[in-house]
Amino acid sequence: MGSGHRDCPGTESEDAGKASACEGCPNQNICASSKAKGPDPDIAVIKERLSSVKHKILVLSGKGGVGKTTFTSMLARGLAQSEDLQIGVLDVDICGPSIPRVMGLDGEQVHQSGSGWSPVFVEDNLGVMSAGFLLGSPDDAIIWRGPKKNGLIKQFLRDVDWEDVDFLIIDTPPGTSDEHLSLVQYLQNANIDGAVVITTPQNESQIFPPTTGGVEQMADEMKVPFLGKLPLDPRIGKCCDEGTSFFEEFSDSPAAKAYQHIITGN
């Protein structure tokens, strides 16, 4: 039953809603009707809108609290140190947006122009879009089901006026659900360059060191590149809490150098 999705014929299939794997699936009726048929015309609109974005990178993790948002902000700020690069950050953690805080943009609002929603800028070359900017107060919460989250993600991809951007970094919520499926679906023709998966050792204290070979061995087994290890420097957490740039404040720290190594390869 847990593997039912593997045999899902897909919403565009002739068998949609009619295959044996569809039995018991809550989407069976809508798939069996003609409503789910055909590619979404917005996928082409999104491709056109994002044609001015050179590279698109997703940041993912299986579990929460491993540092996705911290990594996203550090990657964006690290890249933005090159003044000739234009960087965008898109926060699709709709029900728990924390990019505004770590970027020092709490309380900012999105502005609309004739060409779409304008990102909020941290620096001249670093723009940000987040569901957090749509809330009246930082204490407000967004309590939405998947379809409504998917609608906002589509708006973010289709309606934000990024202009010319070299790297668009997309921060996602923990796990593998609507947000991730929608991103991959909506960006299917817009070329995602890659995904960075963030993980932490099971036991950060290292009092009981890992015995399974850890993430390097896993990356090796799964034949994906292992990008590097990042030290836990409490000053990174402090900078994220305060919305300031760790690279500017602690440029010579081992943590800053470890990030630089992952970002530039040097």
- Residues within the interface to a second copy (CB under 8 A): 1-3, 5, 24-27, 62-66, 93, 95-96, 98, 131, 134-136, 140-151, 173-178, 180-181, 202-203, 205, 207-208, 234, 237-238, 241
Cβ neighbours for 252, distance < 8 A, ≥ 6 positions apart = none
CB 176 within 8 A of CB 96: no
Cβ neighbours for 259, distance < 8 A, ≥ 6 positions apart = 74, 75, 78, 230, 247
Amino acid found at 261: H
For a second copy, the closer of residues 73 and 86 by Cβ is 73
For a second copy, the closer of residues 71 and 167 by Cβ is 71
CB 150 within 8 A of CB 184: no
Give min distance, CB of 158 to a second copy, in A.
Answer: 13
For a second copy, the closer of residues 1 and 252 by Cβ is 1
Give min distance, CB of 138 to a second copy, in A.
Answer: 12
Give min distance, CB of 137 to a second copy, in A.
Answer: 10
For a second copy, the closer of residues 96 and 163 by Cβ is 96
For a second copy, the closer of residues 11 and 260 by Cβ is 11
Q: Which is nearest to 255 in space by CA: 240, 243, 242? A: 240
Give min distance, CB of 82 to a second copy, in A.
Answer: 30
- The two tokens of residue 138 are 């930082």
Give min distance, CB of 87 to a second copy, in A.
Answer: 24
Buried b (16+ CB within 10 A) or exposed e, 108-123: bebeeeeeebbbbebe
